[in-house]
Amino acid sequence: MRAVVQQRYGPPSVLRTTEVDLPLPGPGDVLVKVGAASVHLGDYFVMTGKPYVLRLVFGLRRPRHGIPGRDFAGVVAAVGKHVTAVRPGDEVFGWSTAGTLAEYACVPADHVAPVPVGTSLVEAAAVPTSALTALQAMRDVAKVGPGQTVLITGASGGVGSFAVQIAKALGAEVTGVCSSRNVDLVRSLGADHVVDYTRTDFTRAESRYDVILDNVEAQPLAAVRRALTPAGTLIPNSGRGGRWLGPLARIVRARVLSGFTRQHLKPFASVEKPRDLLTLADLLTTGQVTPVIDRICPLDEAADALRYVEAGHTRGKVVVTI
């Protein structure tokens, strides 16, 4: 099968499209013919091996899995002998730790969910990691509900575009922060208010918010906290930091600060929960969540897709078709 492969850590130029062996599903696995795979900033970090702390998980000297990519949507080609929930021919979406920028991916059966009727494979592939992060941040960490005010920075990006919609679905009054060119997009996602950061610094405005999901490290934590209510919740979901710890440095600072204030500083890492895939499928089915697709690239242009994501100006998601 054709796949994007990397033999060492490095920039997108280390990627090559080549022929590799077809993976074989184990007893509890599903073999999926991948139709589309989305890429996000985490894929870029894993590809480069920076921050270096990532190598403790993904391989010290070279990537443990030579095929990049995590999110996908496709058609089940074969199932292991213990799999009963899906069968060949079913359209599914989900995530794989073994790489998805390939014609086929082998996935544990509990890492997939049915693609909702009316949702394309491209749209479904855009969902798993980014929408899961948004869902868990809004529902589980901040416990957003009716009557709360929520501000989301990077509201037009991968996580942000889902977070705006999910916060609205949970009943919140939502303010999105974005650039001038994305104001109409963020408003179309359901935001009640939109702040153009090129004209207004939300940290110096009068409004205060019960919850802030900070997807863009454009302001210091102390400045962002000024826009919180006295007992509000700040979720820092950003920060590139240095080559060793990367975003972890900002997470550590938030953890330390949280012990000295009534405000709740809650950095978190999303957890891949199969039931949350089903929740996202329901939100897609009801139309409460619609993926925003920025670019669609063929497999041979996967390196360009990752370069574009790393630049940090995506409108929604970047999807690679196989």
**What CATH code is carried by the domain that includes residue 206?**
3.40.50.720
- 97 and 220 together in one domain: no
> In the beta sheet, which residues pair with residue 113?
93
Instruction: Give me the pLDDT at residue 314, please.
Output: 94
- Count: domains in the chain: 2
- 64 and 168 together in one domain: no
- 102 and 144 together in one domain: no
Q: Is there a domain that residue 270 lies in?
A: no
Taking the C-alpha atoms of residue 106 and residue 76, their distance in angstroms, rounded to an integer, is 10
Q: Is there a domain that residue 309 lies in?
A: yes
Higher pLDDT, 238 or 246: 238
The Cβ of residue 119 has, within 10 Å, a number of other Cβ atoms equal to 20
Q: Is there a domain that residue 245 lies in?
A: yes
Higher pLDDT, 22 or 56: 22
Q: Provide the whole-model pTM.
A: 0.92
- 68 and 196 together in one domain: no
Taking the C-alpha atoms of residue 174 and residue 284, their distance in angstroms, rounded to an integer, is 19
Higher pLDDT, 57 or 273: 273
- 103 and 177 together in one domain: no
- 123 and 134 together in one domain: no
| DSSP secondary structure letter of residue 273 | -
- 9 and 81 together in one domain: yes
**93 close to 112: Cβ distance less than 8 angstroms:** yes
User: Which tens digits make up the pLDDT trace of 122-173?
Assistant: 999 999 999 999 999 999 999 999 999 999 999 999 999 999 999 999 999 9
Q: For the chain, give the mean pLDDT.
A: 92
- 260 and 162 together in one domain: yes
Q: Is there a domain that residue 282 lies in?
A: no
| Residue 8 confidence class, pLDDT cut points 50, 70, 90 | very high
Minimal CA–CA distance to 111: which of 292, 1, 274, 230? 274
Q: Is there a domain that residue 285 lies in?
A: no
30 CB contacts (<8 Å, ≥6 apart)?
Answer: 76, 78, 79, 80, 83, 86, 92, 106, 107, 108, 109, 112
Q: How many CA atoms lie within 13 A of 93 on its CB side?
A: 29
Minimal CA–CA distance to 192: which of 259, 245, 147? 147
- 162 and 41 together in one domain: no
The Cβ of residue 118 has, within 10 Å, a number of other Cβ atoms equal to 9
Q: Is there a domain that residue 284 lies in?
A: no
7 pLDDT more than 60: yes
Lowest mean pLDDT among 57-71, 88-102, 244-258, 304-318: 244-258
Q: In Å, what is the CA distance from 234 to each residue of 171, 204, 241, 304? A: 18, 16, 19, 33
- 100 and 196 together in one domain: no
- 15 and 85 together in one domain: yes
Residue with tokens 């497999």: 299
| Residue where one domain finishes, among candidates 249, 265, 281 | 265
Q: Is there a domain that residue 154 lies in?
A: yes
CATH code of the domain containing 21:
3.90.180.10
Domain enclosing residue 233, as ranges: 129-265
- 16 and 104 together in one domain: yes
Instruction: Give me the pLDDT at residue 248, please.
Output: 55
Q: Is there a domain that residue 29 lies in?
A: yes
| Residue where one domain finishes, among candidates 218, 250, 265 | 265
| Residue where one domain finishes, among candidates 217, 247, 265 | 265
Instruction: Give me the pLDDT at residue 50, please.
Output: 86
